[in-house]
Structure 1
Amino acid sequence: DYTGDLQIDQTEIKNMDNNALRSNIVYIDQTAYLFNATVRYNLELGQHFTDEEIKSALEKADLWDFVSTLPQKLDTPVGEGGASLSGGQKQRLALARGLLRNRKLFLLDESTSSLDKAGAIKVENDFLNQPKITIVFVSHQLHEENKDKFDQIITV
């Protein structure tokens, strides 16, 4: 219950059914959940995407260079909870998973917190340069290098 307007594609969200709302929004927090399965499975989650779509999403999330060096590439198991990956790699995998689904609104809650500064800036810039999506970053660290790319910064 709120006052004012909150719209996705000129449709007030109060007037959207839950399925339509979920099909437009992706939420990624700082602790990405990964299954004891392959990189591909953790990206697709039962849906099907081409290798080119997967590669594009991994490139945008700055993870393709790493995945391309794995012994079985996309078919390499990641272990329970992504045990074979670093915290930053898990976050990048979750970001790529969201990108694959062509959502219009990304809510990223500390989703680059496990990345080093250069990696976080690169991932943030890659998302900020996507012309057809809206991104809400929730973060304890605002990088001066990309501060001017945000439409609005709210500090609390």
Structure 2
Amino acid sequence: MASDLTAKQLSYAYDGKLALAPINFNVPYPSKVAIVGDSGAGKSTLLNILSGKLRAYRGSVQIGTKELNQLPLAVLQSQVLYIDQLPYVFNETVRYNLTLGDNFTDQEIWHALAESDLDAYVRLLPDKLDNLAGENGRLFSGGQRQRLALARGLLRDRKILLIDEGTSSLNRASAIAVEDQFLSLKGVSVLFVTHQLHSENKDRFDQIIQLHSPAEQH
């Protein structure tokens, strides 16, 4: 189901209050898209719609020809990966944090780590894949936790990555490095919510979706 994403007059309201003003967009597969807008413009609301967390939207948003809220959640989640600002890391092995109990070969795991630019770091750990990640994932920096979450998704062949303020807690150099990794991925669409477009990477996005606060629509 590697397909385009298309929205027509897509909006969302909480308790009658508009949280996402009507928007239209088309994201051809595969694309790299930045989603920008002031606080309260609905950036996270949009990602929550696209990830299937919010189903009662207005208007239309389709993956290919399928209306998103008509797709079974399991089908949607088999294609879409949502990465929040601070991905959860279990106090388990690196291997478990990637497989989450599913069966993958070491070759598949290392390939996902390589695509996420995390393989060199893991190979330096004393027990490599079987090294404990530590309480709250203390073995990994903020940027590395983003890459770990990315590897989880790539391991499961997710085709659409939704990244919510993925670099907001990182310094500039680390933020740009993480963005570089997302932007370099082949065969996936990436929708990247950010409060700050870095000049180094701005021109690498295929398109920029600008959201406006619902209050500005009146």
Give yes or no for TM over 0.5.
Answer: yes
| In 2, Cα distance between equivalents of 1:141 and 1:59 | 27
* 1:119 Cα offset (Å): 4.0
| In 2, Cα distance between equivalents of 1:126 and 1:88 | 11
Choose the corresponding residue for 2:190, options 122, 135, 143.
Answer: 135
% identity of equivalent residues? 54
8 Å Cα contact 2:143-2:178 kept in structure 1? no
Residues 20-74 of structure 1: CA deviation (Å, up to 9, x unaligned): 1121111111111111100010000011222222122212222111111000011
Aligned to 1:120: 175
The worse-fitting range, judged by mean Cα deviation, of 97-106 and 82-91 is: 82-91
* AA at the equivalent of 2:208: I
Match of 1:153, SS?
strand
| In 2, Cα distance between equivalents of 1:87 and 1:125 | 15
Choose the corresponding residue for 2:100, options 30, 45, 53.
Answer: 45
8 Å Cα contact 1:60-1:123 kept in structure 2? no
- TM-score for both structures, normalised by structure 1: 0.87
Aligned to 1:104: 159
Quick one: higher RCO (CA 8 Å, sep 6+), 1 or 2? 2
Match of 1:43, SS?
helix
| In 2, Cα distance between equivalents of 1:11 and 1:130 | 25
Aligned to 2:70: 15
Aligned to 2:111: 56
Aligned to 1:3: 59
8 Å Cα contact 1:113-1:120 kept in structure 2? yes
* AA at the equivalent of 1:149: R
Match of 1:149, SS?
coil
| In 2, Cα distance between equivalents of 1:150 and 1:131 | 13
Choose the corresponding residue for 1:34, options 68, 73, 89.
Answer: 89
| In 2, Cα distance between equivalents of 1:23 and 1:53 | 17
Match of 1:107, SS?
strand
Structure 2 residue ranges without an equivalent (≥5): 1-56, 212-218
- CA-based RMSD of the aligned residues comes to 1.9
Provide runs of 4+ in structure 1 moved above 4 Å: none
Aligned to 1:80: 135
| In 2, Cα distance between equivalents of 1:95 and 1:131 | 13
* 1:90 Cα offset (Å): 1.8
- Count of matched residue pairs: 155
Match of 1:127, SS?
helix
Structure 1 residue ranges without an equivalent (≥5): none
| In 2, Cα distance between equivalents of 1:25 and 1:19 | 10
Choose the corresponding residue for 1:69, options 119, 124, 127.
Answer: 124
